[in-house]
Amino acid sequence: MKQAIIFDMDGTLFQTNLILEPALQATFDILREKGQWQGETPIEMYRQIMGVPLPVVWETLLPNHSQETRGESNIIFQEQLIEKIHQGRGALYDGTEHILRELSINYSLYIASNGQVEYLQAIVAKYRLHRWIEHIYSIQMINSGDKSELVKLVIAENGITKGAVVGDRYSDIKAAKDNGLVAIGCRFDFSQPAELAKADITIQNLIELRDIEVEALG
């Protein structure tokens, strides 16, 4: 029996809010320079949809723009995010390294995220998460863009028979439920109470996983 814990990245392990605003601001500054955007940067709108696949992000933020412009905007945004990660402007949530170290003793740990590959790799490299995380899965690996399908891939490729998904949005909760895993919701920066209400367990700090892991997954 192989037990595993599959983590979301943004808003779960990594405090994306620390680099989100400056990266999004820089992206829309460039769009304004090109005459492709007027008005303020829609930061609050992005916070509300944080965690959805990137195509949905740009359809939401740029509803009246072409697919080409959306694609170009996403490239700029990813470059800005990665630059700020390299600059050390982001951070892991409190207790992340400690709890990953503890959990890795008894569980195989994975990341399944709606983030793009290069972005996820930048975070993992910056904070040396490969010390405990066995593999990173990006939504780019799934044509459907469905988080449930991504988690299904993690399970299939690694022979997982029991475990949990830890995340802050409904897509994480649904992915756990759809695949017969325990759904652990994080009441962190971008979480929504209505979404987390569907979780099996909710936590306010990753260290709480130490107390519930045996009961939930044992």
pLDDT of residue 207: 94
The ranges of the chain with pLDDT < 70 are: 1, 51, 213-218
Tokens coding 59: 């359809």
pLDDT of residue 158: 97
DSSP 168: S
Tokens coding 47: 């916070």
Q: What is the pLDDT of residues 85-100, one digit of tens each?
A: 999 999 999 999 999 9
Closest residue by Cα to residue 16 from 208, 136, 167, 149: 167
Closest residue by Cα to residue 153 from 163, 145, 141, 144: 141
pLDDT of residue 76: 96
3-15+91-217 maps to CATH 3.30.413.10: no
> What ranges do the domains of the chain cover?
3-15+91-217, 17-86
